[in-house]
Amino acid sequence: MIITCPINKQRLWNTLMELGNIGLTSSNKAEGLTRLSLSKEDLAARSYLIKLMEEAGLEVRVDPIGNIFGKLNGSKKTAPVVLSGSHIDTVHQGGMFDGALGVLGAIEAVRTIKEAGINLTHTIEVVSFTDEEGTRFGTGYIGSKAMAGVLEEKIFTLEDDDGITYREAILNAGLDPLSYKEATRKKEEVKAYIEMHIEQGKVLEEHNMSVGIVTDIQGPIWLEVTLIGNPDHAGATPMHMRKDAALAMAEVLLEIETIATTYKGVGTVGKIKVEPGGVNIIPGKVSFSVDLRHVNKELRTEMVNKVFESLDRVSNRRRIHAHIDVKKDVDPASCSKEIVQLLEEVCSELSIPTKKIQCGAGHDSLIMANYTKMGMIFVRSKDGISHNPKEWTDLEDCAVGTQVLFETLVKLAK
Ligand code: HGY
Ligand code: MN
Ligand code: MN
């Protein structure tokens, strides 16, 4: 690996470890991080990030939806900016590299550019997008959608599990929901978006590689399904007289597994609520999430239609009422061929072995793909584990990924 200007890998690692201590689920570190969007844990992490960007000598700006930007000015003010980043919000009991590596790696890359006194034509902006995961309010990609001008106003009425609305959470964070449209930036303002992210899969590990180049990203559809039967006495109600919402759900869950397997996509039911929720009460109402993904949009549509058919058939037979809300519907996306080629060139110049990979997880890059030239650098995940406290990426792999990002940003911004 021929490096003219090495990034400071220990400094990068220290920031990952520091951010990884903000928002611990409990005193037991083995329970990972729970830093839900705009929670007090997320606000603490945001303060840390802003301090870090200032220490790196970047000009910091927070937009009305809470996207945090750190800017390193280029010589040509009118030239479109090169954007790089990811997110720092996490899922419940998540890991310390998902999103964080993309933001902290971009800060380290730009900090090294500044310290090396490399002259840039294009300004580089590091971005930490608000609420990529969607764990707290059930949708996600909020900050990137706001920047791309595709955020729908109805998200401000979404509520978290405690009944707090998005609007209240934004206000509580000192932001201004009424000005969210000011977060939109014109497409011509941005030259390219590069996101470095942990792979969250096993391909790089199987090929013993530190970094991969993403070609396509699966698009997620999130449904919220409510099944309404009839709460009744668990002892006194014969089986044939029941309208058990939980049994209807159980049938549909197994059919979702069959549908996803048949289409070679993925289907997940990660969140379930049973009401009234008593040992001796037949479940009268259940609500559950459905996450369906496929790299091919047409096949994903067929999967969704099959799930709707399953719900219809099972609820009719069981005399249950079914209601479906579509909470997220983001198309699969292909990375810019120009950026893929640039990343291949950088890896070849650095003599870093790499391979092209399809991406199963969703990222802000899905939204950026319709807004500017988008590319993703994947970094090896230990055992492919993610959305799990055991998520891990070695220091050396973080360093290699950040070096590739550094070289790519310099080429794009020169
Ligand atoms: O859901 C996802 O794929 C990502 O972690 N937000
Ligand atoms: Mn994630
Ligand atoms: Mn992520």
Place of tokens 């993309």: 102
CA separation for the pair 365, 374 (Å, rounded): 7
Ligand lying closest to the C-alpha of residue 376: 3
CA separation for the pair 354, 133 (Å, rounded): 27
CA separation for the pair 413, 400 (Å, rounded): 20
User: What are the residues whose beta carbons fall under 8 Å from the beta carbon of 280, sequence distance 6 or more?
Assistant: 233, 234, 235
Cα diameter, the chain: 79
Cα dist. 252→240, 257, 301 in Å? 19, 9, 17
Q: How far is the CA of 88 from the centre of ligand 2 (A)?
A: 10
Give the position, in ligand 1's atom list, of the atom nearest the Cα of 293. 3
Please report the beta strands in 15-122, taking only residues with DSSP state E, as ranges in sequence order: 59-62, 68-72, 81-87
Per-residue pLDDT of the chain (414 residues), as tens digits, is: 567 799 999 999 999 999 999 999 999 999 999 999 999 999 999 999 999 999 999 999 999 999 999 999 999 999 999 999 999 999 999 999 999 999 999 999 999 999 999 999 999 999 999 999 999 999 999 999 999 999 999 999 999 999 999 999 999 999 999 999 999 999 999 999 999 999 999 999 999 999 999 999 999 999 999 999 999 999 999 999 999 999 999 999 999 999 999 999 999 999 999 999 999 999 999 999 999 999 899 999 999 999 999 999 999 999 999 999 999 999 999 999 999 999 999 999 999 999 999 999 999 999 999 999 999 999 999 999 999 999 999 999 999 999 999 999 999 999
CA separation for the pair 130, 141 (Å, rounded): 7
CA nearest ligand 1 atom 1, residue: 362
- Tell me what pLDDT residue 2 has: 64
Q: How far is the CA of 328 from the centre of ligand 2 (A)?
A: 15
Q: How far is the CA of 54 from the centre of ligand 3 (A)?
A: 24
Give the position, in ligand 1's atom list, of the atom nearest the Cα of 133. 6
Helix 100-115, helix 395-413: angle, nearest 10: 60
Residues framing ligand 1 (Cβ under 6 A): 132-133, 140, 220, 361-362
Q: How far is the CA of 364 from the centre of ligand 1 (A)?
A: 9
Q: Which of 387, 388, 391 maximizes ligand 1 atoms within 8 Å of its Cβ, making it the mutation to test the pocket?
A: 387
Give the position, in ligand 1's atom list, of the atom nearest the Cα of 99. 5
pTM, to two decimals: 0.96
DSSP for residue 77: T
Q: How far is the CA of 86 from the centre of ligand 3 (A)?
A: 7
Q: Which fold has domain 9-218+332-413?
A: Aminopeptidase (3.40.630)
- Tell me what pLDDT residue 4 has: 78
Report how far Cα 338 is from the mean position of its chain's Cα atoms: 23
Strands 356-359 and 285-294: unpaired
Q: Which of 36, 86, 91 maximizes ligand 1 atoms within 8 Å of its Cβ, making it the mutation to test the pocket?
A: 91
Cα dist. 32→6, 26, 136, 288, 330 in Å? 31, 8, 16, 24, 28
Own/partner long-range contacts of 201-204 (Cβ < 8 Å, ≥24 apart):
201/357, 201/360, 201/361, 201/381, 201/384, 202/381, 202/383, 202/384, 203/355, 203/357, 204/355, 204/357, 204/378, 204/379, 204/380, 204/381
Q: Which fold has domain 219-329?
A: Alpha-Beta Plaits (3.30.70)
- Tell me what pLDDT residue 142 has: 98
User: What are the residues whose beta carbons fall under 8 Å from the beta carbon of 233, sequence distance 6 or more?
Assistant: 280, 281, 282
DSSP string of 265-329, one letter each residue:
-EEE---EEEES--TTEE--EEEEEEEEEESSHHHHHHHHHHHHHHHHHHHHHTT-EEEEEEEEE
Write the single-letter amino acid at 313: R
Domain boundary assignment for the chain: 9-218+332-413, 219-329
Q: How far is the CA of 387 from the centre of ligand 2 (A)?
A: 6
